[in-house]
C-alpha cells in the first residue's frame, strides 16, 4: 500500500517520463525512416560524432587485420622530381619495379581519362601533310608510344584501374563488361543509380585485369564512415576499387550480391566474394575499419620505387599496392573519423583490409532498429518509474549509471561482437529523463523555498533563512559568542512628532521611512534585529560570517543618513514633520543566537558591546552629531576619514572608550579638511591640558562654524577644568551619568 501511495504521489512525473520515452522512440523511428529530413540529418550528425568517439577510443583494441597492403605515394617529393602527369613510360617502369619486388596486385587510384601525347605521331602527321619522307618517323611512333609501353607493363603483374561514376550525362571511356550477379534485378535494390561515368582510356580498360569505381559515400556532415562496395549503372552492378582488388587477390571468379525481400523492398544483405560473405547495410555499404590516423599503412614514395631506392623491398612481397596521392595539390584528401586531410587512397586501403580480413569489419545487423527500440522502451520505463522516487543526488547517480551502462554495453558489442548500434537515442533518453526529473525537483524545491521566504522574510533575517535552506547543518540554533558590529538608529524628538499626527498618519510615515532604511541594511549584508517604535537595531557578521562587518555597518549608516536627508525634504513638501536621526555603532564580542521562550524566539544579539552601541546612539544628541562609532569599529574601517569626538565613560562602565564621528565622502572638501585639521589640533591641546591654547583654538572654530555645538561644548569644559587639579593619569575622558 505504501508503494502504491508513493507511486500515486509521483504519477505526474512518471507519466511525463513515459511521454519522454515515447518521444525518443518516435524520434528514432522517424530518423531511420526519413533520413534526409533536416531533423534526421542533425540527429545523424550527433550520432556520427558519437560514432567517431567510439571508433577512436577503441583503435588500440583493434585486431591487426591484413598486413600486405602498401601505398605508393605520389607525394610532394615525387611531384618535385617528375611533376604530374607522369610520362606513361615512367609509369610502366614503376609497374615493372613493383612486379620485380613481388607485388601481386597494383591498383591505380588515379584516372587516366586521356591518351598521352606522342610527339612522333604529331611529327608524322605534319610531314604527311607536306608529302615528305615518313619511313623514319613511323618507327619513332612505336618507340615513343607511352600508352603502349605502359600497357606492356601490365603483363608483369595484375594491374587494375579506377573510374568515377556521376549523375551527369557525361560518358567518357568504357565501363567493365562483367556484371555482378544478384538474387534480384538491380533495379529493385536500394542501391544508388548513376547515369554517367568517366573512366580510363579504352586501351587500358582492355589491357587491365580489373576496374572499380573510386566514389566515396560521405555522411551528411561530410565525414566518410561507410564505403559502398557496389553501385548501380542502369541494369548493371559495378564493384568498388577495393572490392575488385579483393576479388583479384583472392583469385575469385565472381562477385555476388546477396539480397533479402522485406515487404515491397529488397535489401542487400551482403557481398559474396568466392565463398566469403561480407555483411553490408541495405545499400551495399560497409563501415570502414580504419586502422588508425593517416599513414597507418606503409607509405613508399613513388620516386623511390622508380629509382630503386626502397630501403626494404621485401615490403612489397605478395602485397596489394595502391598507387595514389597524399599531396594537397591533387585534391584527393577526405574528412574521416580518424582525421581530416585523410588521403583518399588510404580510405580504399582500409576497406580492402576489411574485405580481406572480415573479422575486423563492424556491421549493423538488419535487426538493429528493433533492438534499439526495445532497449529504449525497457530502459525508459525503468528510469521513468524510479527517478521521481529518488532524491536529487540519487537521481544523478542513477542517471550516470544508466548512461555509463548504455555506453559500456554498446562499446562491448562493438569490440567483442563487431556490432555497431547507434548510441545517440539511448544517451538522449537518459539525459532527458535526468534533466526533467532533476529540473522539476529543483523548481519544486525552489517554489517551496520561496514560499518559506515569503512567510518568514518579514520576521526572520533573510540571510538566516537562505543559510538554513541551503545548508541546514551549517547553522546552529544554539547561541554563540563572536565579534560583530551592532547599529542603533533612533528618530529625534519622536514623541513630539507623534503628537502632531494621527495614528494612521504616524504609521504611514514610519513605513515610508523604514522601507528604504531596511532595504539598505539588507543591501549591505546586515541583519535586522528589531524595530521598537521609531528605533531600528541591526547587526553584521551573523548568521553569515562577514569579515567586513564594521565597514559594512558604517557604510550602511552613511546611506541611512542620505535617505533621511532625502525624506526630510519630501516630508516637508508633503506637510509632514521633518525627520532627523542619531546613529550609534559599536564593534565587539557579543552573544548571538535564537533567544527567547518556547512560545516565541528571536534571532538577536546580547552583551556589553551591544549596550555600548545603544549608548553611543543616545550620545549623538549630546555632541550634536548624527553618527557616533567606537574606536573598535573605526579601527576596522580602512579608508574612512573620521573626527575624534571624545573619550567617555558611559553609565554602568568604568573603562573609558574613545568615540569618533565617521565622515561621509560627500562632506569632504578643502574647507572641511582645513577645519578638521584645526579641530584635531585643538583637541590635542585639550588632551595636553594646554587650556589657554585650546580655548583660543576652539573659539576660532566656533567663530568659523557657530552651528557646531561640539566646539562650544569643549569651551565650556575647558572653563570647568582649567582651575581644577587633575590626576596624573587623566586621559581627557568624560563620564556620562545618563543613558
- pLDDT per residue over 194-239, tens digit each? 999 998 888 888 888 889 999 988 988 889 999 999 999 988 999 9
- Residue ranges, comma separated, of all CATH 3.30.70.1230 domains in the chain are 474-666
Q: Does the pLDDT value for residue 527 go beyond 60?
A: yes
Q: Does the pLDDT value for residue 40 go beyond 60?
A: yes
φ, ψ for residue 583, nearest 5 deg: -130, 135
State residue 1's pLDDT score. 47
Residue 591's region, left for phi above 0, alpha for psi from -120 to 50, else beta, is beta
Q: How far apart, in whole angstroms, are the C-alpha atoms of residue 603 and residue 609?
A: 17
Name which residue leads in pLDDT, 728 or 352: 352
State residue 118's pLDDT score. 57
| Paired residues of 39 in beta bridges | none
- Which secondary-structure segment (H or E) carries 445? helix 424-456
Q: How far apart, in whole angstroms, are the C-alpha atoms of residue 413 and residue 594?
A: 61
CA angle 689, 690, 692 (to 5 degrees): 130
Q: Does the pLDDT value for residue 459 go beyond 50?
A: no
- Residues near 693 by beta carbon (within 8 Å), at least 6 away in sequence: 685
Least Cα distance to 690 among 734, 733, 722 occurs for: 722
Q: Does the pLDDT value for residue 71 go beyond 60?
A: yes
Q: Does the pLDDT value for residue 452 go beyond 70?
A: no
- The residue behind cell 573659539 is 699
By the 10 Å C-beta count (0-12 exposed, 13-18 middle, 19+ buried), 178 is classed as middle
- The residue behind cell 541611512 is 560
Question: What single DSSP character describes residue 154?
Answer: G
Can you list the positions of beta strands (E) in 167-244?
171-172, 181-182, 193-194, 196-198, 210-213, 226-228, 230-233, 236-239
Residues of the chain with pLDDT > 70: what percent?
A: 87
Strands 105-108 and 320-324: parallel
Residues of the chain with pLDDT > 90: what percent?
A: 43
Supply the angle between the helices 424-456 and 462-470 in degrees, to the nearest 10: 150
State residue 370's pLDDT score. 87
Cis peptide preceding 35, ω within 30 of 0: no
Query: Could you tell me the pLDDT band of residue 653, with boundaries at 50, 70 and 90?
Result: low
State residue 455's pLDDT score. 44
Q: Which three cell numbers stand for residue 364?
A: 549493423
Can you tell me the mean pLDDT for 472-479? 56
User: Please, what's the largest Cα pairwise distance for the chain?
Assistant: 150
Q: Does the pLDDT value for residue 134 go beyond 70?
A: no
Half-sphere exposure of 689 (CA within 13 A, CB side): 13
Q: What is the pLDDT of residues 238-262, one digit of tens each?
A: 999 999 999 999 888 889 999 988 7
Q: What is the pLDDT of residues 76-122, one digit of tens each?
A: 888 888 877 778 888 889 999 999 999 999 999 888 877 766 555 55
Can you list the positions of beta strands (E) in 506-625?
527-532, 535-540, 581-596, 601-606
Strands 230-233 and 236-239: antiparallel
Q: What is the pLDDT of residues 426-449, one digit of tens each?
A: 999 999 998 888 888 777 767 666
Question: What single DSSP character describes residue 599?
Answer: S
Is the distance from CB of 648 to CB of 657 less than 8 angstroms? yes
Q: Does the pTM of the predicted model rise above 0.75?
A: no
Q: How far apart, in whole angstroms, are the C-alpha atoms of residue 248 and residue 209?
A: 8
Query: Could you tell me the pLDDT band of residue 172, with boundaries at 50, 70 and 90?
Result: confident
CA Rg value for the chain: 47
Query: Could you tell me the pLDDT band of residue 9, with boundaries at 50, 70 and 90?
Result: low
- Burial call 289-306: b when 16+ CB within 10 Å, e when fewer: bbbeebebbbbbbbbbbb
State residue 85's pLDDT score. 75
CA angle 115, 118, 119 (to 5 degrees): 150
**CATH level 2 (architecture), domain 474-666:** 2-Layer Sandwich (3.30)
Name which residue leads in pLDDT, 411 or 458: 411
Q: How far apart, in whole angstroms, are the C-alpha atoms of residue 39 and residue 49?
A: 16
State residue 336's pLDDT score. 92
State residue 132's pLDDT score. 46
Can you tell me the mean pLDDT for 581-587? 96
Half-sphere exposure of 99 (CA within 13 A, CB side): 14
State residue 78's pLDDT score. 86
Question: What single DSSP character describes residue 189?
Answer: B
Query: Could you tell me the pLDDT band of residue 183, with boundaries at 50, 70 and 90?
Result: confident
Please count the other Cβ atoms lying within 10 Å of the Cβ belonging to residue 585. 30
State residue 14's pLDDT score. 83
3-state helix/strand/coil string of 55-106: HHHCHHHCCCCCCCEEEEECCHHHHHHHCCCCCHHHHHHHHHHHHHCCCCEE
At 422 the three-state DSSP class reads coil
Please count the other Cβ atoms lying within 10 Å of the Cβ belonging to residue 91. 24
Q: How far apart, in whole angstroms, are the C-alpha atoms of residue 732 and residue 647?
A: 6
State residue 287's pLDDT score. 93
Please count the other Cβ atoms lying within 10 Å of the Cβ belonging to residue 255. 24
Lowest mean pLDDT among 482-486, 591-595, 644-648: 591-595
Q: Residues in the chain, how many? A: 739
Least Cα distance to 487 among 573, 599, 616 occurs for: 616
Least Cα distance to 384 among 439, 442, 437, 443 occurs for: 437
Least Cα distance to 453 among 466, 435, 440 occurs for: 466
| Paired residues of 261 in beta bridges | 266
Q: Which three cell numbers stand for residue 402?
A: 544508466
Residue 101's region, left for phi above 0, alpha for psi from -120 to 50, else beta, is alpha
Least Cα distance to 339 among 52, 578, 68 occurs for: 52
Tell me the CA distances in angstroms from 583 to 273, 536, 579, one per residue in order.
98, 10, 13
Q: How far apart, in whole angstroms, are the C-alpha atoms of residue 121 and residue 141?
A: 5
Supply the angle between the helices 368-386 and 392-417 in degrees, to the nearest 10: 160
At 733 the three-state DSSP class reads strand
Query: Could you tell me the pLDDT band of residue 658, with boundaries at 50, 70 and 90?
Result: very high
Most confident of 335-344, 468-477, 503-512, 555-564: 555-564
The overall average pLDDT reported for the chain is: 85
Cα 363 off chain centre by: 33
Q: How far apart, in whole angstroms, are the C-alpha atoms of residue 695 and residue 130?
A: 136
Q: How far apart, in whole angstroms, are the C-alpha atoms of residue 257 and residue 272?
A: 6
Q: What share of the chain is helix, strand, coil (3-state, %, to 5)?
A: 50, 20, 30
Least Cα distance to 171 among 163, 162, 179 occurs for: 163
φ, ψ for residue 530, nearest 5 deg: -165, 160
Least Cα distance to 362 among 310, 414, 305, 397 occurs for: 414
Q: How far apart, in whole angstroms, are the C-alpha atoms of residue 243 and residue 212?
A: 7
Query: Could you tell me the pLDDT band of residue 333, with boundaries at 50, 70 and 90?
Result: confident
Q: What is the pLDDT of residues 209-219, one digit of tens each?
A: 889 999 988 98
Least Cα distance to 81 among 301, 298, 295 occurs for: 301
Amino acid at each position: 500500500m505504501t508503494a502504491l501511495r508513493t507511486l500515486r504521489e509521483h504519477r505526474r512525473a512518471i507519466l511525463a517520463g513515459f511521454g519522454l520515452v515515447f518521444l525518443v522512440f518516435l524520434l528514432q523511428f522517424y530518423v531511420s525512416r526519413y533520413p534526409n529530413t533536416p531533423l534526421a540529418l542533425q540527429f545523424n550528425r550527433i550520432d556520427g560524432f558519437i560514432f567517431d568517439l567510439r571508433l577512436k577510443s577503441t583503435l588500440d583494441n583493434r585486431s591487426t587485420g591484413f598486413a600486405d597492403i602498401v601505398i605508393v605515394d605520389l607525394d610532394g617529393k615525387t611531384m618535385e622530381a617528375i611533376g604530374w602527369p607522369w610520362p606513361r613510360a615512367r609509369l610502366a617502369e614503376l609497374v615493372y619495379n613493383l612486379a620485380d619486388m613481388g607485388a601481386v596486385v597494383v591498383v591505380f587510384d588515379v584516372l587516366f581519362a586521356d591518351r598521352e601525347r606522342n610527339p612522333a605521331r604529331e611529327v608524322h602527321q605534319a610531314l604527311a601533310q607536306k608529302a615528305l619522307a615518313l619511313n623514319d618517323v613511323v618507327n619513332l611512333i612505336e618507340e615513343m608510344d607511352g600508352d603502349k609501353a605502359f600497357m606492356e607493363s601490365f603483363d608483369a603483374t595484375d594491374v587494375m584501374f579506377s573510374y568515377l561514376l556521376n549523375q551527369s550525362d557525361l560518358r567518357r571511356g568504357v565501363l567493365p563488361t562483367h556484371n555482378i550477379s544478384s538474387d534480384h534485378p538491380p533495379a529493385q535494390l536500394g542501391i544508388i543509380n548513376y547515369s554517367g561515368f568517366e573512366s580510363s582510356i579504352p586501351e587500358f580498360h582492355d589491357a587491365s585485369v580489373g576496374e572499380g569505381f573510386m566514389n566515396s559515400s560521405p555522411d551528411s556532415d561530410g565525414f566518410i564512415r561507410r564505403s559502398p562496395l557496389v553501385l548501380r549503372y542502369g541494369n548493371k552492378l559495378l564493384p568498388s576499387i577495393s572490392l575488385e582488388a579483393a576479388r583479384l587477390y583472392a583469385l575469385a571468379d565472381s562477385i555476388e550480391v546477396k539480397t533479402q525481400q522485406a515487404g515491397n523492398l529488397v535489401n542487400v544483405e551482403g557481398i559474396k566474394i568466392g565463398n566469403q560473405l561480407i555483411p553490408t547495410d541495405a545499400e551495399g555499404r560497409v563501415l570502414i575499419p580504419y586502422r588508425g590516423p593517416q599513414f597507418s599503412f606503409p607509405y613508399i614514395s613513388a620516386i623511390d620505387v622508380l629509382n630503386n631506392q626502397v630501403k626494404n623491398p621485401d615490403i612489397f612481397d605478395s602485397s596489394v599496392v595502391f598507387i595514389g596521392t597524399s599531396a594537397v595539390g591533387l585534391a584527393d584528401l577526405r574528412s574521416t573519423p580518424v582525421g581530416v586531410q585523410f588521403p583518399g587512397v588510404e580510405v580504399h586501403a582500409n576497406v580492402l583490409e576489411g574485405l580481406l580480413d572480415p573479422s575486423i569489419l563492424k556491421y549493423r545487423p538488419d535487426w538493429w532498429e528493433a533492438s534499439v527500440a526495445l532497449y529504449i522502451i525497457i530502459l525508459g520505463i525503468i528510469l521513468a518509474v524510479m527517478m521521481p522516487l529518488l532524491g536529487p543526488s540519487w537521481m544523478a547517480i542513477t542517471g550516470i549509471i544508466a548512461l555509463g551502462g548504455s555506453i559500456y554495453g554498446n562499446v562491448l558489442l562493438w569490440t567483442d561482437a563487431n556490432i555497431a548500434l547507434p548510441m545517440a537515442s539511448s544517451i538522449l533518453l537518459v539525459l532527458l529523463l535526468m534533466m526533467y526529473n532533476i529540473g522539476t525537483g529543483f523548481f519544486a524545491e525552489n517554489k517551496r523555498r520561496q514560499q518559506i521566504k515569503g512567510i518568514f522574510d518579514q520576521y526572520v533575517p533573510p540571510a538566516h533563512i537562505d543559510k538554513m535552506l541551503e545548508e541546514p547543518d551549517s547553522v546552529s540554533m544554539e547561541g554563540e559568542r563572536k565579534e560583530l558590529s551592532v547599529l542603533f538608529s533612533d528618530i529625534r524628538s519622536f514623541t513630539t512628532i507623534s503628537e502632531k499626527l494621527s495614528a494612521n498618519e504616524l504609521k504611514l510615515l514610519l513605513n515610508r521611512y523604514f522601507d528604504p532604511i531596511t532595504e539598505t541594511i539588507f543591501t549591505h549584508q546586515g541583519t535586522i534585529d528589531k524595530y521598537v517604535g521609531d528605533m531600528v537595531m541591526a547587526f553584521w557578521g551573523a548568521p553569515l560570517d562577514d569579515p567586513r562587518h564594521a565597514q559594512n555597518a558604517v557604510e550602511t549608516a552613511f546611506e541611512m543618513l542620505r535617505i533621511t536627508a532625502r525624506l526630510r525634504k519630501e516630508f516637508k513638501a508633503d506637510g509632514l514633520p521633518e525627520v532627523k536621526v542619531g546613529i550609534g555603532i559599536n564593534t565587539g564580542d557579543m552573544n548571538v543566537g535564537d533567544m527567547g521562550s518556547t512560545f516565541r524566539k528571536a534571532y538577536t544579539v546580547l552583551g556589553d558591546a551591544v549596550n555600548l552601541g545603544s549608548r553611543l546612539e543616545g550620545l549623538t544628541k549630546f555632541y550634536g552629531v548624527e553618527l557616533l562609532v567606537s574606536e573598535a569599529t573605526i579601527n576596522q574601517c580602512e579608508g574612512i576619514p573620521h573626527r575624534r569626538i571624545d573619550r567617555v565613560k558611559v553609565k554602568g562602565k568604568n573603562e573609558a572608550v574613545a568615540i569618533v564621528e565617521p565622515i561621509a565622502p560627500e562632506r569632504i572638501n578643502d574647507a572641511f579638511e582645513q577645519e578638521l585639521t584645526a579641530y584635531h589640533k585643538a583637541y590635542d591641546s585639550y588632551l595636553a591640558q594646554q587650556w589657554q591654547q585650546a580655548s583660543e583654538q576652539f573659539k576660532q572654530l566656533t567663530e568659523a562654524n557657530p552651528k557646531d555645538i561640539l566646539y562650544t561644548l569643549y569651551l565650556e569644559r575647558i572653563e570647568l577644568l582649567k582651575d581644577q587639579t587633575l590626576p596624573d593619569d587623566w586621559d581627557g575622558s568624560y563620564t556620562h551619568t545618563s543613558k
